[in-house]
Amino acid sequence: MVQQLDQPVSTRRSENRPASSTRPGAVLAVSVGLIAAFVLWAAVSPDGLGAVMTSSMNWVAGSVGWSYLVVPLLCIGLLLYLALSRYGDIRLGSNSARPEFSTWAWLAMILSAVMGIGLISYGVAEPISHYMAPPHALAEPETMDAAVRAMQFSFFDWGPHAWAVFGVFGLAIGYSTHRKNRPGLVSPMLRPVLGKLVDGWFGKAIDVFAIIATLFGTTTSLGLGASQIAEGLNRVFGLPTDLPVQIIIIAVITVLFTLSALSGVHRGIRYISEITMTLSILLAVFVFVAGPTNFVSNLFFRSIGQYASEFFTTSLITPSTPDDLQWMQWWTYFMMAWWLSWGAFVGVFLAKISKGRTIRQFVAGVLGVPSLVFFAWFTIFGGTAIKMDMDGAGIGEATTANINSAFFAMLEQLPLVQVTAVLTVVLVALFFISGADANTYVLSMLSSKGTLKPAKPVLTLWGVLTGVCAVLLLVVGGLVALQQAAMLSALPFTIIVALLGISLILELRKDPEFQLLRHARLHEIPGADGERSH
């Protein structure tokens, strides 16, 4: 029995393993068709598309925006339960499987490929924005209380709530692919809840939703990345930051990340991720040491305390006025929807790189470590900018005028500004490449029946489509259009991620790891009779 359970999962035939070829089929055709229709609409009537997206987003935020809050909170609860329960020892693979990547390489890929661009785009911009206009009017603007509130809500947007969504997707897909030997798709994991529906058009529709949400979630990052690179090039070389420059940047980066994706996860994504993490650490240490170290240190612990003490209040806060609703749409609802739209992409990617790790290791590495890293990053860079603004540097005003200037405005107040500005541009470009690289791989995998080795023409197709959609959304409405696309595409995933959580629990309860104890009678367990006789 033990020998049977411990054999490699890949040697056991799964009832869900498709017998057909892994060549692209209906899912790819439908996905590309829908995206082509969107591209055509954006090209023919950008104003019409923008109006429809705006009205749709206003309805979603006003009617069901609360779902963007509830689902991530439930995901946190589920992951903590799994990590602390007996299920924590189950491996994503056979019982004898071990990780393919070192812990450093694994964490580097998680942090770099998942939300790297956000570290630059929002690392200063979000805290300083909340400092200038505290969320929900919970503090007086530009005060120490406002600084703490700014960090509290930055932690909320970028901490466990985001990573828990990724974690549930990653665990569900990782368990399904590595332990149950199913294709790397979202739909097969829903079999315990949906039954045979996942084998027909309904299952294919789920996978199409996953592809579209993944694409639009990533194009948001590409738009942010292009804006940051343009701003950095303007600061260093005096180049313009207008739309044509951003389009050229996206085109160049699209070629680079497509070539990187063609080289595979073990080469392109891994090496780029390790380089970006090393450079990020160097930049963070420099700003921490050269900046207001004592202020940042004190702000970190005070903000952690505020975040922890009001965790549930913050997690479920909803708008009370129309202005509050608009703020939520720009910040909290957008952030939570962004993470949901990325759920399938990050889940598949995490599953790919986490084979052999236990559920407990996975939760610690995906929920715990990244949250602490992001807390530290936002406090170092955002806290430094806040202290500089308190001292009259005017970073808040610069951010209000142009949100893309926030990070570079902070660096200009420190020594070696030319060096750090160039380093930041390089970092954004590498984050850009690694994130889009992983996205291209996952889109190709999702549209190729879950194969771990998508065909190169499919990889190339998704690389090009990702770049084209990012450009078109920038043309239609800039950052607002990018955010709206991510939020709207994420709406179905509020339901899908809930079903994934339920399916994962049902699957784990039937895991072979516990089969022996579940079916054994007391007298069949060695030593049990002796215990009973005493």
Q: Average pLDDT, stretch 506-529?
A: 64
Structurally, the chain folds into a number of domains equal to 1
Domain presence at residue 178:
yes
- pLDDT over 80 at 361, yes or no: yes
Q: Exposed/middle/buried for 144, CB within 10 Å: 0-12, 13-18, 19+?
A: middle
Dump pLDDT digits (tens) for 227-242. 888 888 888 788 888 8
Helices 369-390 and 293-309, interaxial angle, to 10°?
A: 120
Domain presence at residue 420:
yes
First to last CA, the chain: 29
Closest alpha carbon to 125 in 329, 412, 404: 404
**% of the chain at pLDDT higher than 90:** 31
Domain presence at residue 137:
yes
pLDDT of residue 414: 94
Domain presence at residue 391:
yes
Contact 398, 409 (CB under 8 A): yes
pLDDT of residue 13: 41
Q: Which residue has the tokens 């590595």?
A: 178
Domain presence at residue 521:
no
- Concatenated DSSP letters of 204-271: HHHHHHHHHHHHHHHHHHHHHHHHHHHHHHHHHH----SHHHHHHHHHHHHHHHHHHHHT-IIIIIHH
98 against 387, higher pLDDT: 387
Least confident of 197-201, 297-301, 356-360: 197-201
- pLDDT band, residue 479 (cuts 50/70/90): low
- pLDDT over 90 at 531, yes or no: no
pLDDT of residue 525: 52
Domain presence at residue 283:
yes
pLDDT of residue 358: 94
Q: Average pLDDT, stretch 388-394?
A: 91
Domain presence at residue 82:
yes
For Cα atoms 376, 378, 382, give the angle at the middle one, nearest 5 degrees: 130
Domain presence at residue 15:
no
Dump pLDDT digits (tens) for 293-342. 999 999 999 999 999 999 999 999 998 888 898 899 889 988 898 888 88
pLDDT of residue 267: 59
Q: What domain range includes position 304?
A: 27-513
Closest alpha carbon to 192 in 176, 212, 211: 176
pLDDT of residue 1: 35
pLDDT of residue 522: 45
Q: What is the CATH number of the domain that holds 395?
A: 1.20.1740.10
Q: Average pLDDT, stretch 73-96?
A: 92
- For residue 486, the number of C-alpha atoms closer than 13 Å in the C-beta half-sphere is 32
pLDDT of residue 11: 39
User: What gap in Å lies between CA 370 and CA 349, rounded to an integer?
Assistant: 15
Q: Each residue of 458-496: b (16+ CB within 10 Å) or e?
A: bbbbbbebbbbbbbbbbebbebbbbbbbbbbbbbbbbeb
pTM: 0.84
pLDDT of residue 448: 86
